[in-house]
Amino acid sequence: MEFNLDRLVRENIKRMTPYSSARHEFSGAATIFLDANENSFGSPLPQNYNRYPDPLQLSLKEKISNIKGIPVQNIFLGNGSDEAIDLMFRIFCEPGKDNIIIFPPTYGMYEVCAEVNNVEVKKVPLTSGFQLDLDAIEASVDENTKLIFVCSPNNPTGNSINRGDIEVLLNSFDGILVIDEAYINYARQKTFIPELTEYPNLVILQTLSKAWGLAGLRLGMAFAGQPVINYMNKVKYPYNINTATQQLALEALGNISSVNNWTKTTVDQKEFLQAELFKLPITQTIYPSDANFILVQLTGAKKIYEYLSAKGIIVRDRSKVILCDDCLRITIGTPEENKQLIEALKQYAA
């Protein structure tokens, strides 16, 4: 069956005329800008932020294009990946009619965005091994299922989803499959970006918040076929990425060596943390992780969480999440932070 994107897009989105900013309408060289009602005298900051930012972030996208090996026209930049997630609902899901499928335990914003947009959420829990249940997924898909979200490596479990199972969904689902690769820099499994030319129904999310260490800038990336990207640019707010974020991200993207070093250190520290946790009598299970965190099942996880919080060490209590009974999610810290965590847990377990 040939994929038909327009069949999935909401009719009002297809009909709408996007907002056209002054910067959209102008092309070429100019020295005097009297078009956008900006303050022509400057700003009270050392850097001049009196002008609106590039609405399509072309310089930044060109840098990302070189790093990721993907054309500029296949890149969308958002205010965190959450903006791209929300846009998926606004473009493809008719409120009160359509539905999406998620695989708990997983990232919570898929469900939050669905609730905000009044879209039904169908939950197909992962297996006990934190993998997809393909038969249950097939049984859950109906004619109004527009989006499926796969988080790989998954949050909060940390494992990568079986690549073959994802490919089954790509080949069998005639809606949009969103693969959230926020933690892909830490994973042994390769990104699905090279498969974009093969699957027009594929959208890939990545971020600069994790391995790149730019969580404070709120810059997410979506990669997809040009028709999908065109719709995302049509619906987004015109100046969704501010000038400071664009400038700082460009500067950071020139320092790949530091990111690679941090990533290697994080992986090494993950192995250290796992080895030390295994020595503690309170540790029941440490689940395999391809991310910069580990999911650990502990005896009395809630009490341990409260104990660590009282010592100023904050982890994430996931013990009430499906399949995560008595589990804490622990981000890999610096060597010193990890040592302090282990020492605190040793004292608790003594």
Strands of 240-326, DSSP E: 283-286, 293-298, 316-317
* Segment (H or E) for 6: helix 5-8
Residues pairing with 297 in the sheet:
285, 327
Nearest one of 219, 180, 213, 277 to 57, comparing CA atoms: 219
* Segment (H or E) for 28: none
d(CA 161, CA 189): 9
Q: Which two tokens stand for residue 348?
A: 């608790």
The answer to whether the beta carbons of residues 149 and 169 sit under 8 Å apart is no
Alpha-carbon separation of residue 204 from 83, 149, 223, 282 (angstroms): 13, 10, 5, 38
Structural domains in the chain? 5-19+52-254 (3.40.640.10), 257-349 (3.90.1150.10)
pLDDT for the residue 1: 60
Nearest one of 172, 162, 143 to 103, comparing CA atoms: 162
Nearest one of 151, 144, 145, 203 to 180, comparing CA atoms: 151
Looking at residue 165, its amino acid is D
Strands of the chain, DSSP E: 75-78, 99-102, 120-123, 145-151, 176-180, 202-207, 220-224, 283-286, 293-298, 316-317, 327-331
Block means of pLDDT (10 residues each) for the chain, length 350 residues?
Answer: 91 95 74 91 93 95 98 98 98 98 98 98 98 98 98 98 98 98 97 97 98 97 98 96 98 96 98 98 98 98 98 98 98 98 97
